[in-house]
Each structure stands twice: as structure tokens, then as C-alpha cells.
Structure 1
Amino acid sequence: MKKRKIPMRKDLLTNTMMPKKELVRIVIDKDKNVSVDPTGKKSGRGAYVSLIPEKIAEAQKDRVLEKSLGAKVPPQFYEDLYAYVDHQKARKELFGENYRAK
């Protein structure tokens, strides 16, 4: 049986290539609204970050998302992103490696 190709994306926080399903997409739309895209299908410019909650504070300090997306990211978004990433990491640990974020 032929192996399926695993889509890879670059993680902004660790600067490494990782499988797409292990990352979460951050998207900015044409109205400059920044949001988490759990489905990976929202329209707009996207950037991928890993499910490592500790890296979110570093990203806020270094303004990684602002540089990548080209817009100001409000501090409340970083808090929401941290909560989302922490929750997804906990679910992945609870349900195992075959868990897929929805």
C-alpha cells in the first residue's frame, strides 16, 4: 500500500517544519481581524503555530505574529490563543497521538 504524503508547514514559534495537523492556524482577514482557525479553511493570510503554550508568551514579547501577519495583534488575542493551545495540548495528551483537533 502506498504511503500518504503528510502536509508540512513551518511553525513560526520554533522555526521548524512540522506536520500540519500538529499546528494551529492563525488567520488575518481583509478587515485586519486576527483569529484562530481550527478548521484551517478560513480565507485570509495564515500563519501556523505549534501546540506549545510556553512559546505563546515568547511570541507576544518578540511580536512574531505581528511581523508575520503585517498587522497589530491585540493582547487579548494572545490570551485567547494561549487558552486554545493549552486546551488542545491537554486534549491531545488525554486522547493520544491519533487525536485530531476540530
Structure 2
Amino acid sequence: MRNVAVVAFPGVQSLDVSGPLDVFAEANRFLLPDEHYRLEVVGLEHGPLRCSNGMTNFADRHFSEVQDGYDLLLVAGGPGLVHQEFADEIYAWRT
């Protein structure tokens, strides 16, 4: 089993979260169970995350709750990302 996470935040572009998850979910259809990708959404804030298109996503867990590492960590984008400020704990976070 390989662990893949997508990091999401308020204002994230929904396709940047759902697209990669769909790709890995589809790949799981062709892999043996012990080779599957375990997929997870990690939120930079607690609670629902409103996407740039108005849709609401929910993270599987908050980044501060991550105890184990990931084989692949993807950070989703969004139209306001370049102007967005995050807490210092986020910039210091390592998996």
C-alpha cells in the first residue's frame, strides 16, 4: 500500500483535489490490493473547505493530525494561492 495525500485549503480549485484523486483511484482498479494507493485529503484548516468554484470539500484530517509520512504529497492549487497567507506552522510542517 502506498500513501498519497492532497493538501487542500480554503479557495482551493476543486479540480486540483478531485483530479489527482480520480487518477489514483482509477489506477487502483488495475493493481493488486496490496499495491493500491491509499488516498487522503489533508486540510490546512479545520472544518469544511470552500473551493474557488463554491463547492465545499472536507478533508480526511487536519495537517496537525498527520503522524505518519506519505509516499507522495501533492499540494492543490487555486486562483488566489499566490496571494494567500498561511500560518507559520504550515510552512514548518513536514510529513
TM-score, structure 1 length as denominator? 0.26
| TM-score using structure 2 length | 0.27
Specify which structure has the bigger relative contact order, considering alpha-carbon pairs within 8 angstroms and separated by 6 or more residues.
Answer: 2
Would you tell me which structure has more helix in proportion to its own residues? 1
